[in-house]
Amino acid sequence: MSTPKRRIPGISVYQRGATWSYRLDLAPDPLTGKRQRENRGGFATEDEAWDAVLKSKAAHDAGRQVKRSPRTVAAFMAEWLETTRAEVKATTYQNYADYTRSYVVPIIGGRPLQEIKVPVLNLLYRRLLDSGRLKPDNNTKMYEYWKARKASNDGGGRARPRSQKLAAQRSTPHERRYSGTGAAGSRWRSRRGWNRRP
């Protein structure tokens, strides 16, 4: 049964070649105030076009319809990083940028953002788990470096004797030379009054 021709404000159904299309007027863009429209085609009959446009209008009126967009994941992540830059520490931002460049963009960066659903994200996580790290673990390397350096400065983690600490605190090369053991060191300490006992 053919749908009778009708006139509904904001909706146009028309034939283009061998198929049917529709144009749906939407609410103005909330930011720019510009008119927005939804255009779809390829319907085999006029009835199919009317059914599709009425369902779309109902979804838009209920606030559930998402406007189609060609924006890719890479473009979205670039915008998100730029917005986030001023809100986080520089090191945090750099980590975000490195992870995005190493793990997100090479795999799904070219896909339209609206195609990314939960199953796609699950597949991405599984691939990253199976493939291992792509980004060098510089944080662990830096931690191991500072840990080794601290152990070296502390003598392998052992506390230095008090005499070594005092020797390290001598203010001049002359004092460090004569503050050790032996006769020269003893005479030097005597002149300084360090050999006196209470």
DSSP string, the chain: -PPPP---TTEEEEEETTEEEEEEEEPPPTTT---EEEEEEEESSHHHHHHHHHHHHHHHHTT--------BHHHHHHHHHHHHGGGS-HHHHHHHHHHIIIIIHHHHTTSBGGG--HHHHHHHHHHHHHH---S--HHHHHHHHHHHHHHHHTTTTPPPPHHHHHHHT-SSHHHHHHSSSSHHHHHHHHHHT-S---
For residue 111, pLDDT over 80 is answered with yes
* pLDDT band at residue 89 using 50, 70 and 90 as cut-offs: very high
Contact 33, 15 (CB under 8 A): no
Q: pLDDT at position 82, please?
A: 93
Residue 128 is predicted with a pLDDT of 86
For position 129, what pLDDT does the model report? 86
Look at 49-58, 63-72, 98-107 and tell me which has the smallest mean pLDDT. Answer: 63-72
pTM: 0.39
Q: How far apart are CA 135 and CA 94, in angstroms?
A: 12
Structure tokens at 95: 């980590």
